[in-house]
């Protein structure tokens, strides 16, 4: 076969395979057998192997990626991926519709209602009819490019029909079908492996795989709900968009309602609640949107959400089960947390076998006993919690729970804090405390050392390779080779991450050390005020209280930590290892923000510390809390209570583009 003949044959095979994929996955009407499909695919693979220049990005052979990539690149969204305001109340949903009526000045407002798929938000761009890239929501402005992983979704077209639009960007939700999730967990249970918590988290993990072959095994699916960029397409409403999705073989929601009154909206969400359990994906609510795009534009958006849409969340599902035992988890600060072990029960689409009991004061208040029949729910559909006890079903054999007197791991006598709520193991060498402390130290919010999951940390502590965080910097290839199921590639990546962590800002080190009562914000304040870790260590309690946000509880904790002999030795080891102890000096860029005080909240295009540095470099000050002295609130996605407080106090709120414009 000549090269010209090979090119023609490859084009024919690609077209045929795309057609058969659409017939099988979209229309459900296959016309050839799996074996015949595989033969066509194998022929195309052979041609591409012999002539690599004939390999195209949209080739069906690229459904599953090749070798793992080193990491994900970032893609800036053409249109921000905003979140939705939400409500659990029918009264608030009615109030939302009233706001629409006032905003548009008419009584009837055409709306669409569809299921809120409990998955991972995705944006996908097609150019010239071919899938160009796909990305996660990320911070709303920028997301991770996960194109190779998205290509493993068989329902997702790599090429659009030629008689439809060729260039546009569409938003959707990637999910793991309930049947796939249940089958996956059954296989893991039979293999003695830990079960996945729920389909959404499992989907997130699958999309984060660097090797798309692993993602392909998860059999993900996708549903689309919106357009981001359709400038050259005549689409004037959500209804038009649904028609466009049908024409381009992009899956839309299985159930869609139309309503033009508050009563109609309530009827739709009630009907959806009755039918949603029959859907192939998990749902946690309904999404209500104004249909006409012209109306959407007139209503506009806030700093974090469109005014023309809302998510109605269904009340968390509850279940009844038996509490069969209570275990005690030991945290990085030594805190002992009781955890209920339950007879497995299905709640919100996943099997629950344990739930948090918070603390022993909570146990006493609710009078929870081993053997009780309890009501549990998933708070926010994620964290199982014991809501109440059915005391009327007690037989008399239930066993009351008493607070522990000794640590269940190391046997050290426990210590109660001043509020008599938290019970702690005071032994800093308790193996469980050491594990949790190291996990915190290497976490993304602290020193950001990748490659050290719970299982690896557990091995390091159990075989005594690591006794404290300083030992992480003494590890080498020979020592790490002693670990089970850790390959040379992982070892190399870990050592690189450790070396890179030495240049982290010192506030991250202070936070990573796990000083009681010192969070990330407090660590940042300490370094801003004192300039170096050595200066913090030399400060007395009175000096520490002069630092903003460091009060009468935090100051003694910090002072005590830095005067402990073992901690002094630990710091010396970290200094010898080459970690950064001095805060970087922020070079002045301008005085454009001189005289202003800022509070930063929500998710922005950069982390808050970087944006705070930008504000300081331009003459402004940064505060952690909103007050009458605050000049501006810089609000990103999911701004929360600070945005509410700023509104009440009349503090001017800016979104990130407005902030950037001030500096331009």
Given the residues 29, 35, 76, 116, select the one marked as catalytic.
Answer: 116
Please enumerate in sequence order all residues whose Cβ is within 8 A of that of 5, keeping only pairs 6 or more positions apart, or say none: none
* Count of alpha carbons within 13 angstroms of residue 401, beta-carbon side: 27
* Residue pair 115/171 in contact by the 8 Å Cβ criterion: no
Residue 397, SS3 per DSSP: coil
Calpha distance 619→662 (Å, rounded): 12
Calpha distance 187→195 (Å, rounded): 9
| Beta bridge partner(s), residue 226 | 171
* Residue pair 357/339 in contact by the 8 Å Cβ criterion: yes
Calpha distance 505→523 (Å, rounded): 11
Encoded tokens for 510: 């202070």
User: Left if phi > 0, otherwise alpha if psi is -120 to 50, otherwise beta: which for 142?
Assistant: beta
Q: How far is CA 157 from CA 26, 57, 63, 113, 162, in A?
A: 9, 12, 10, 25, 12
Calpha distance 309→296 (Å, rounded): 9
Encoded tokens for 336: 């002992």
Calpha distance 544→435 (Å, rounded): 29
Encoded tokens for 496: 């690189």
- Return the closest-CA partner of residue 106 out of 257, 379, 244, 298: 298
- Does 116 qualify as catalytic in the annotation? yes
User: Left if phi > 0, otherwise alpha if psi is -120 to 50, otherwise beta: which for 131?
Assistant: beta
Residues in the chain: 664
Q: Which residues are catalytic?
A: 116
């Amino acid at each position: 076969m000549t090269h010209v003949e090979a090119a023609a044959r490859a084009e024919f095979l690609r077209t045929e395979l795309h057609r058969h994929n659409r017939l099988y996955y979209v229309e459900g009407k296959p016309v050839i057998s799996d074996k015949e499909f595989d033969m066509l695919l194998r022929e195309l693979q052979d041609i591409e192997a012999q002539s690599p220049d004939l390999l195209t990005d949209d080739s069906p052979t690229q459904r599953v990626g090749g070798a793992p990539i080193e990491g994900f690149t970032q893609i800036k969204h053409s249109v921000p991926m905003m979140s939705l305001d939400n409500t659990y109340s029918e009264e608030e949903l009615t109030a939302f519709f009233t706001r629409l009526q006032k905003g548009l000045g008419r009584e009837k407002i055409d709306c669409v209602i569809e299921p809120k798929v409990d998955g991972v938000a995705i944006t996908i761009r097609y150019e010239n009819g071919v899938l160009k890239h796909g990305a996660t929501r990320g911070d709303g402005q920028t997301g991770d490019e996960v194109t190779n992983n998205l290509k493993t979704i068989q329902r997702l077209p790599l090429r659009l029909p030629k008689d439809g639009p060729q260039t546009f960007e569409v938003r959707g939700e990637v999910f793991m079908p309930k049947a796939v999730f249940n089958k996956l967990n059954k296989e893991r249970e039979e293999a003695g492996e830990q079960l996945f918590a729920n389909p959404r988290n499992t989907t997130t993990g699958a999309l984060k795989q660097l090797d798309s072959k692993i993602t392909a095994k998860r059999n993900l699916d996708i549903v689309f709900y919106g357009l981001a960029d359709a400038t050259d397409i005549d689409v004037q409403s959500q209804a038009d968009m649904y028609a466009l999705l049908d024409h381009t073989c992009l899956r839309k929601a299985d159930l869609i309602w139309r309503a033009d009154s508050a009563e109609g909206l309530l009827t739709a969400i009630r009907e959806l609640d009755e039918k949603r359990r029959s859907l192939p994906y998990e749902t946690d609510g309904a999404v209500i949107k104004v249909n006409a795009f012209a109306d959407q534009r007139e209503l506009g958006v806030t700093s974090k959400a469109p005014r023309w849409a809302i998510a109605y969340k269904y009340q968390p599902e509850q279940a009844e089960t038996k509490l069969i035992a209570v275990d005690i988890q030991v945290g990085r600060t030594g805190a002992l947390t009781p955890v209920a072990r339950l007879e497995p029960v299905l709640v919100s689409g996943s099997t629950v076998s344990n739930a948090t009991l918070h603390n022993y004061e909570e146990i006493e208040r609710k009078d929870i006993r081993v053997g009780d029949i309890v009501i549990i729910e998933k708070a926010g559909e994620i964290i199982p919690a014991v809501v109440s006890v059915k005391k009327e079903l007690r037989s008399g054999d239930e066993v009351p729970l008493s607070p522990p007197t000794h640590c269940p791991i190391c046997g050290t006598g426990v210590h109660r804090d001043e509020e008599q709520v938290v019970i702690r193991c005071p032994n800093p060498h308790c193996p469980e405390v050491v594990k949790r402390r190291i996990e915190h130290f290497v976490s993304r919010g602290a020193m950001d050392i990748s490659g050290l999951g719970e299982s690896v940390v557990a091995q390091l502590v159990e075989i005594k390779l690591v006794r404290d965080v300083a030992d992480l910097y003494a590890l080498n290839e020979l020592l790490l080779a002693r670990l089970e199921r850790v390959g040379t590639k992982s070892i190399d990546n870990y050592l690189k991450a450790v070396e890179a962590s030495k240049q982290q800002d010192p506030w991250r080190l202070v936070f990573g050390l796990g000083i009681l009562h010192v969070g990330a914000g407090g660590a940042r304040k300490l370094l801003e005020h004192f300039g170096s870790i050595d200066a913090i260590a030399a400060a007395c309690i009175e000096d520490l209280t002069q630092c903003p946000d460091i009060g009468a509880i935090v100051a003694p904790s910090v002072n005590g930590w830095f005067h402990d002999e073992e901690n002094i030795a630990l710091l010396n080891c970290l200094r010898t290892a080459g970690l950064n102890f001095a805060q970087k000096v922020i070079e002045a860029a301008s005085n454009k923000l001189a005289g202003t005080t800022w509070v930063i909240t929500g998710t922005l295009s950069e982390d808050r510390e970087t944006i705070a540095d930008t504000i300081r470099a331009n003459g402004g000050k940064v505060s952690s809390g909103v007050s009458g002295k605050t000049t501006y609130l810089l609000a990103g996605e999911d701004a929360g209570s600070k945005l509410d407080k700023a509104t009440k106090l009349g503090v001017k709120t800016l979104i990130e583009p407005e902030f950037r414009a001030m500096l331009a």
